[in-house]
Structure 1
Amino acid sequence: MPAILFGSISTIADTSELQRQAFNQAFKAHGLDWDWHREEYLTMLENSGGQNRIADYADSIGQTVDAETIHRSKSEFFQNSLTESQLQPRSGVVETIQSAKIKGLKIAFVTTTAQENISLLMAALHPIIQVNDFDLITNADRIDRPKPDKAAYTFALEKLGEKPDNCIAIEDNLGGLESAISAGLDCIAFPNQNTAHHDFNRAKHLVDRLDFDDLQKFLASNSNKRSSKLYSNKL
């Protein structure tokens, strides 16, 4: 059975600016005069891992900080913003999920964020998008190695009982794209507000909205390639 695998939170609802604002709130709370402007933050997003970004930035300006503690505060600010903001699903996401369920496709949310972030996201989007819309939801506690490592997608494929060529991943950042490709998946790049300028040339396709009919065509193409390969092996 084909499956559509959503990657990070911002493939479902664009929280990229909420994330940046939460970093700046955390810096202020810890007495730092750092202020990550949007232009600066866009470049940082080319690499995965918020705690790593804090540590790398501190090194770049010659400061020593407790990156883990600051990142924990950032997560708290971000979680508060998920509760307070009026989040909306991204363009085409609801229609894609609904159509996939009608057609009998599996839907997974393959993220390595904290479970609390996922719970708050689902609460903010309820009832438009609900937990039971997904056949599988991963989180940081279930995955040993975060993206861009392939572990999240390898785990998801195993739990879903699917092969990579029977699925398609949807990712909004380069780390997620690398993770999906490393796991053998074709990936649709669906950049968020702050990753739109990144180079997604390794993606199967680049879109600014999801269209279920197009996703079906990619899945069908993969299925045809698989059938042709099996036929060739038999000859």
Structure 2
Amino acid sequence: MTALLFGSISTLADTSEIQRDSFNQAFKEHGLDWDWDQQEYAGLLGSNGGQDRVAAYAEARGETVDAAAVHATKSRIYQETLRSSTITARDGVAETFRAAKEQGLKVGLVTTTSADNLAALSDALGDTVPFDQFDVVVDQSKVAARKPDAEAYTFALQQLGEDASDVVAIEDNLGGVQSAKAAGVKVVAFPNGNTTGQDFGDTRRVDSVDLADLRQ
């Protein structure tokens, strides 16, 4: 193992409920009578990409909605909330990050969310998970296809100069797991509060991360 790749934002800090609440606030701002409770939201997380999720939901209801505008509002609210909240890293994340750097591993963050969302999370986590120490950061501006497409991971591997067989990824949702596997990267599922019910098949699941365990 020569590199460790964290997947979506919620592999670092579980912001999934902040995400859901931000969607609901955005719906109100746009005059929509939608309200995603936790069960419904969890059921919608089988696909990646919030804008696409809003568009698909509107289509299923036979409604016409400016999904891009709704998602932009959601993103603004989400970023504002992150920066005004006390955010903590998930169990073992900060320790694993430090240990990986100390042991000479390359560490990356491989998402298909926006750079603005990552900046807000970086501000919220501060020195707990120092983003300036990532060896590669992938966001939606750097790839053409969202997860579960493999592009985000193949791009990260190219930037790091690493072979997929020497890398381990940590992902919190099924689309992310599929993306890593499509790129040939070994992956561990680390579900968040809203993806814990997803079926990860034969992918190993963990409730916390530990570098020694990930090396196995």
The DSSP-based 3-state class of the residue aligned with 2:5 is strand
Are 1:212 and 2:193 an aligned pair? no
Calculate percent identity across the aligned residue pairs. Answer: 50
Rg (Cα) greater in structure: 1
State the TM-score, normalized to the length of structure 1: 0.90
1:144 deviation in Å? 1.1
Partner of 1:134: 134
SS of 2:143's partner is: coil
Aligned partners of 1:20, 1:199: CA distance in 2, in Å? 21
Amino acid at match of 2:116: E
Question: CA-to-partner distance for each residue in 1:46-69, whole Å, 9 max, x for gaps?
Answer: 111111111111111111111111
**CA offsets 1:172-206 (integer angstroms, 9 cap, x no match):** 00110110000001110000010001001142x10
Q: Which runs of 4+ in 1 moved over 2 A?
A: none
Distance in 1 (CA, whole Å) between partners of 2:56 and 2:144 is 22
Question: In the aligned structure 2, how far is the partner of 1:202 from the partner of 1:117?
Answer: 31
- Cα distance in 2 for residues equivalent to 1:181 and 1:108: 16
RMSD: 0.9
SS in 1 for 2:86: coil
Whether 1:62 and 2:62 are equivalent positions in the alignment is: yes
Within-5 A mapping of 1:173-192: 173-192=173-192
Contact kept? 1:110, 1:152, Cα under 8 Å:
yes
- Output the CA distance in 2 between the equivalents of 1:165 and 1:192: 26
State whether residues 54 and 71 of structure 1, in contact with CA within 8 Å, keep that contact through their aligned partners in structure 2. Answer: yes
Q: In 2, Cα distance between the equivalents of 1:7 and 1:17? A: 18
2:116 aligned partner: 116
Matched, 1:143 2:174: no
Q: Is the 8 A contact 1:5 1:170 kept in 2?
A: yes
Q: List gaps (5 residues or longer) in structure 1.
A: 218-235
Match of residue 46 from structure 1: 46
TM-score using structure 2 length:
0.98
Structure 2: how far apart are the matches of 1:136 and 1:207? 24
Aligned length in residues: 216
Instruction: Provide, for residues 54-92 of structure 1, a one-character-per-residue CA deviation record: whole Å limited to 9, x for no partner.
Output: 111111111111111111111111111111111000000
SS across alignment from 1:188: strand
Distance 1:33 1:186 in 2: 42
Unaligned stretches of 5+ in structure 2?
A: none
The Cα offsets for residues 93-135 of structure 1, whole Å up to 9 and x where unpaired, read as: 0110111111111100011111111111111111111122211
Amino acid at match of 1:176: G
Matched residue type, 2:212: D
Q: C-alpha distance in 2, partners of 1:175/1:202?
A: 15
